[in-house]
Structure 1
């Protein structure tokens, strides 16, 4: 891991030493190159950067927040600084990065998880923090739970529907928000009983090991809610080992539009899937490019925005999205989405529909 770390820091120095005068953006990706979600996220960003003429560099932290902070320190205090640093408030690293950024001359943009209200109060307003873009995580967790309940066969008035839930990391804002959404849906359906929620750290193997114990402890479970696709696959594998069929004997849900998750929707193994937030980094680059050209983001929907990217993906959407993987630039002209020269009523069309035209 140390080798990867040193190599990533060397690459960072090399890239910005030779960068042309297109604006340079460094994205600190909190995930790993083994995770379908963070890979697809990077690929969408790279498509946007190509179209917009942005010099983009992406470093992975392999889910180690201390590595994100080390990468940020070098980027913000080293000799070859990017024009913009884009990062996620994963495991609440943002305040440390903001401290490192003081007087660096680098502009900051947060994606996926922005400052919490408490952090915002402590940090205050800063001229170098130009904006943030986050998805509707709470609504995503809610939509997924509601869809599972909707699809469950009716039960007698005095019967319970038993549920298991697999969440990510306790200290990740997106996991917490998705859980809140699930709990909001459960409050509307008292017949559904959450038997247990576990934290699987977003990992398939961890969820599999936990699910093996949970399915033997709660043999009547017929709904399984998971905050990402990897954990859903781990739970489904454990369920199949009990001799039962995912999608028939119990309904499973997931977040993320990885090819495997889309295929599982088409096959009927996954009953409820929400996704679309892999596009966030690419949309953020459209805003950064506009900012670079003097566009006032406050005029076009505000510099700190939540956008409803997480939506239910049905079989039709899943087929469309699998086909989209082979389309150059996902069929999107990122330059055409610019707010430059538009009336102040213009709103960036950052939705999955923009991809599915």
Structure 2
């Protein structure tokens, strides 16, 4: 039975002591940045489904948006002697985590936020692979959708605010770079201010309220992820304005509440599906532990993401009931299916 304890062990199946049993059912540790975000709950739930199908003892830890908790989680997993570790290296924890795991001869797959070096680097041969989204492309698509919707002010300019994610992470940096790509192509768009929402709702709501108070001419908001968009929408609503009419908002992640917001017109544009990355990493780690190495040319995975606008919501719900694509973990595992080509599946509409 899964247990949820904030800042501590979130999901665990009892570890097996016998060596033969360990080989049959590997113990894989996972650390997520925060379970205060719907995205990371979806990520963990998909991995749990995969663990059940593949026969993996999964240990899920919550860093609770704290750098020291991420390091402590890594230390705990190494001390437990897990067979593999999958984690998201926010707060510059790639090198410390890989070092800890290397010293214990534990293979690692990074997700969502990448390191400054490629997988299977000579310094860290235990770094098997990276799986994450094409953040820069997503950030650009978000910007372009927002710019196209806005009407110029009397001076011919379009005024937007930016609510970024967790500062210093490759995720936040690349999404903002994508927005800059869009800005470079649209000199009529003016960024009135930027704040860091730390990828969570409450912080995003608070910092946007402050930014908006000093810049009442904001017409649209580029929000770095789903929780950020939800916080911005809450701020607009609390001010007695209508998101989607008085202020246009775009976001990312395809969280259920954001899909609802696109459907009801509060959120103009959303893009995502990359919470699947955890499940893909699980298949890759499982296969590695079963003797199927990750090919070097398939070790750095950047996922294309699924865009969503109001006119595609019905199609989205038909193609992905509950927001979840059909995915057979065993069919994508070379340990179970020697004909499997890749663990990766990108969400696409049926037509």
Q: TM-score range by the shorter chain?
A: 0.7 to 0.9
Kindly tell me: are residues 169 and 337 of structure 1, through their superposed partners in 2, closer, same or farther at Cα, counting changes over 3 Å? Answer: same
Which residue of the partner structure matches residue 272 of structure 2?
275
The corresponding residue for 1:71 is: 73
| Residue number in structure 2 paired with 1:90 | 90
Contact 2:196/2:207 (CA < 8 Å) preserved in 1? Answer: no
Aligned residue runs from structure 1 range 105-120, under 5 A: 105-117=105-117
Residue 65 of structure 1 and its aligned partner are, at CA, apart by 1.6
Residues 82 and 316 from structure 1, CA distance in 2 versus in 1: closer, same or farther, beyond 3 angstroms? farther
What pairs with 1:289-300 in structure 2 (closer than 5 Å)?
289-298=286-295
1:13 and 1:45, CA in 2 relative to 1: closer, same or farther beyond 3 A? closer
Aligned ranges for residues 137-152 of structure 1 at < 5 Å? 137-152=135-150
Match of 1:180 among 177, 197, 218: 177
Of 307, 310, 329, the match for 1:312: 307
Query: Considering only aligned residues, what root-mean-square deviation do their CA atoms show, in Å?
Result: 2.9
Q: Please give the secondary structure, in 2, of the residue aligned with 1:28.
A: strand
| In 1: Cα distance, 2:167 partner to 2:276 partner | 24
Contact 2:195–2:211 at 8 Å: present in 1 too? no
50-59 or 268-277: which moved more?
50-59
Alignment counterpart, residue 328 of structure 2, candidates 333, 339, 343: 333
Q: Which residue in 2 is equivalent to 1:38?
A: 40
Instruction: Give the distance between the partners of 1:256 and 1:17, measured in 2 at CA.
Output: 38
Do structure 1's residue 28 and structure 2's residue 31 form an aligned pair?
Answer: yes
Counting only pairs closer than 5 Å after superposition, residues 156-167 of structure 1 correspond to structure 2 as 159-167=156-164
Whether contact under 8 Å (1:111, 1:132) holds in the other structure is yes
Q: How do 1:44-59 residues align onto structure 2 when only pairs under 5 Å count?
A: 44-59=46-61
| TM-score, normalised by the number of residues in structure 2 | 0.86
Gaps spanning 5+ residues in structure 1: where?
Answer: none
Matched positions, count = 340
Residue 8 of structure 1: aligned partner: 9
For residues 6 and 222 of structure 2, what CA distance do their matches in structure 1 show? 34
Equivalent residue for 2:199? Answer: 202
1:151 to 1:351, Cα distance in 2 relative to 1, 3 A: same
The residue that corresponds to 2:62 in the other structure is 60
* Contact map agreement 1:262 1:322 (CA 8 A) in 2: no
Q: Distance in 2 between matches of 1:291 and 1:169?
A: 31
Q: Does 1:227 align with 2:224?
A: yes
Q: Specify the SS of the correspondent of 1:231.
A: helix
Secondary structure of 1:212's partner? helix
The answer on whether the counterparts of 1:31 and 1:62 sit within 8 Å (CA) in structure 2 is yes
243, 246, 251: which is aligned to 2:243? 246
Change (3 A) 1:37 1:225: same
Structure 1 residues 49, 41: CA separation in 2 closer, same or farther (over 3 Å shift)? same
Which residue of the partner structure matches residue 99 of structure 2? 99
Q: Offset at 1:54?
A: 2.0
Match of 1:15, SS state, is: coil
- What TM-score, normalized to structure 1? 0.85
Per-residue CA distance 1:233-256 (angstroms, 9 max, x = gap): 222222234432111122101111
Q: How far, CA to CA, are the matches of 1:317 and 1:52 in structure 2? A: 33
| 8 A Cα contact 1:143 1:311, kept in partner | no
> Paired residue for 1:264?
261
Per-residue CA deviation, residues 10-41 of structure 1 (Å, 9 max, x unaligned), is: x8795354875312211111212x32111011
